[in-house]
Amino acid sequence: MLEQLTQLVQQFGNDAVVKNNAVPNELNDSVMKETESSLLSGLQKMASDGKLEQLAGLFQGNNAGSASNPVVKQLIEQVSGNLGKKVGLDSQAANGVAANMIPQILGSLVGKAKDPNVKGFEVSDLVNAISGGSGNSNLMDMVTKYGGQFGLDQNNDGKVDMQDAMAAATKKGGLGGLFGKLFGK
């Protein structure tokens, strides 16, 4: 997942940073590295702070690339602040870079994670990276917390747990279908 994030930062950073006259050329690499680092750390902080409902909302629907999404808005503010503090960009340039890149990166990341045709990139990879490597328990916590809303209670016992995951794995669609329901596919 980190490789995909780096590629997306480079892809969208070309216009938002390299071709941006408000960003001095000598800061281009620093701005892109800080954008990537701040974005990932911001997502991880949200997970560790228990904002799983907001993060789950990021994966649902098609608004991961919208600046009106609360997660996107919060990450734009964090990345912008870090670009000012850590890289030395003035606030207007930092806000412009963050507001341009963050929605595009998140929209693309979530889109790729939800697309079954994109090989080697799964929602679980994204959740694992966000949860700092402890994705299995955090993912199951998220599935348990939000799964009932998406019809994931496979055995109708009123909760979503490992037994539901196992039941889903044996049904048509398997775990991919289970996670697809959870993340809006």
pLDDT tens, 2-30? 788 899 999 999 999 999 999 999 999 99
How does pLDDT run across 53-112, given as a tens digit for each residue? Answer: 787 777 766 788 888 889 999 999 999 999 999 999 999 999 999 999 999 999 998 888
For residue 110, what pLDDT is reported? 81
How does pLDDT run across 121-159, given as a tens digit for each residue? Answer: 666 666 667 766 554 454 445 544 554 444 445 555 655
Structure tokens given for 71: 């997660």
* pLDDT band per the 50, 70, 90 thresholds, residue 180: low
35's enclosing H/E stretch is helix 28-48
Chain Cα centroid distance, residue 163: 27
Structure tokens given for 59: 């994966």
Structure tokens given for 126: 């994204």
In whole numbers, what is the pLDDT of the chain averaged over residues?
77
For residue 1, what pLDDT is reported? 67
Reduced to 3 states, what is the DSSP secondary structure of residue 51? coil
* pLDDT band per the 50, 70, 90 thresholds, residue 42: very high
For residue 38, what pLDDT is reported? 96
For residue 3, what pLDDT is reported? 84
For residue 106, what pLDDT is reported? 92
* pLDDT band per the 50, 70, 90 thresholds, residue 52: confident
For residue 154, what pLDDT is reported? 55
* pLDDT band per the 50, 70, 90 thresholds, residue 178: very low
Minimal CA–CA distance to 105: which of 139, 131, 79, 86?
79
Exposure of 133 in the CB half-sphere (CA atoms within 13 A): 0
